[in-house]
Amino acid sequence: MKLHEYQSKLLFAQRGIPISKGRVAATAQEAREIAAELGGRVVIKSQVLVGGRGKAGGIKVAKNLQDAEEYAAQILAMTIKGLPVRKVLVDEAAEIKTEIYLGVTNDRAAKCPVMMASSAGGVDIETVAAETPEKIIREHINPFLGLRDYQARNLAAGIGLPREHWRAFGQMAAGLYQTYWETDATLAEINPLVINGANQLVALDGKIVVDDNALFRHLDLAEMRDVDEEAPAETEARKYGLSYVKLDGEIGCMVNGAGLAMGTMDIISHFGGKPANFLDVGGGAGADKVAAALRIILSDKNVKAVLLNIFGGITRCDEVARGILKALEEVKTNVPMVVRLVGTNEEEGRQLLAEAKMTTATSLADAARKAVAAAKGS
């Protein structure tokens, strides 16, 4: 789960990281009031859950109250990378002398956290990694020891930070690691961390991605989820406990079991199709859950065919079939469907589906071939 910049920076500030003064506004009038409190010169920042807002025009420095109101109105009317802007952060504008990158993430290969710093701040770290990888300095962190002071100094030295800033940098690095650790984040990032006009280090941007699997023990963080900023299908999927990831292909997949779902996606690709999603309805899915899954799949306009691949072990095939029929009553569709049902009560399941004029398949390969053909309109 991604947190907004303003949420991330508050979590940083609680752990001793200096941030700019500011507040969130939902209207241009509110933005003007906050700007007045802050003394006029402010930066108006769109709060959407994507990077590159600056380049997209979603961040503007305002010299006075009129500008603040006008820019807030403009930015609140924007849609950035498909996400409508509903809130802006109004922060005291900083004078920027230097932009630095500082982040912590999981290094899966090294099986431990890694802190990264770069003198090329303000730029996407992926871009830096691709174009000037030598500009990224890394320190792997032993999770039992935490970030050591010498590691923060190594990073500071590695990016050529003047000595006078090392102490402040060390405190920020410690605060960032603490945030990452305490929130069960998979990423905690400050980009840019700047040296401002007063020669102080400040976190100007913040990003935290919390591990969804840890949210059960962070109810305060779970409450920060911004449902407005999520794809509606993902909100719906979470409500029904479905694991759903939208992709950009044309064959919708409904499968029980994550491994089977991946196998299904592979075989679709093998036969020349592209999966429109990953969807695991899970074990023991009843008719309601299956119906919700089908609704979600069909809400994607790219879907030209649906492949239902169900192994009826805990989930009974007749129960799945009833779910499919129930969903088809609610969602009228001409999208062709191919079903492979195997396992407990498969005969009953097939009988039920025969009435719905669905294509059935005997093997997974057969099902994939038929779904690919159906998606191509043949």
Q: How far is CA 117 from CA 37, 173, 176, 198, 242, in A?
A: 34, 10, 12, 22, 37
229 binding partner (options Mn ion, ligand GDP, none; Cβ < 5 to 8 Å by kind): none
57 binding partner (options Mn ion, ligand GDP, none; Cβ < 5 to 8 Å by kind): none
Q: Rounded to an integer, what distance in angstroms lies between the CA atom of residue 302 and that of residue 108? A: 33
Shortest Å distance, C-beta 107 to ligand GDP: 22
Q: CB-wise, 8 or 309, nearer to ligand GDP?
A: 8
Q: Rounded to an integer, what distance in angstroms lies between the CA atom of residue 44 and that of residue 24? A: 10
Query: Which residues bind to Mn ion, rule: CB under 5 A?
Result: 191, 205
Q: Among residues 101, 177, 180, 240, which one is catalytic?
A: 101
Is position 71 annotated as part of the catalytic site? no
Among 10, 61, 231, 328, binds ligand GDP (CB under 6 A): 61
Q: CB-wise, 56 or 342, nearer to Mn ion?
A: 56
Per CB under 6 A, contacts with ligand GDP among 117-146 are 122
Shortest Å distance, C-beta 206 to ligand GDP: 8
Q: Rounded to an integer, what distance in angstroms lies between the CA atom of residue 364 and that of residue 368? A: 6
Q: Among residues 92, 99, 189, 229, which one is catalytic?
A: 189
Is position 6 annotated as part of the catalytic site? no
Q: Is 19 in the site for ligand GDP (CB under 6 A)?
A: no
- Would the CA dihedral through 267, 270, 272, 273 be positive or negative? positive
Q: CB-wise, 184 or 226, nearer to ligand GDP?
A: 226
Alpha helices in 116-217 (DSSP H): 125-131, 149-158, 166-182
Q: Is 43 in the site for ligand GDP (CB under 6 A)?
A: yes
Shortest Å distance, C-beta 236 to ligand GDP: 28
Q: Helix, strand or coil for residue 230?
A: coil
Residues marked active site are found at 101, 189
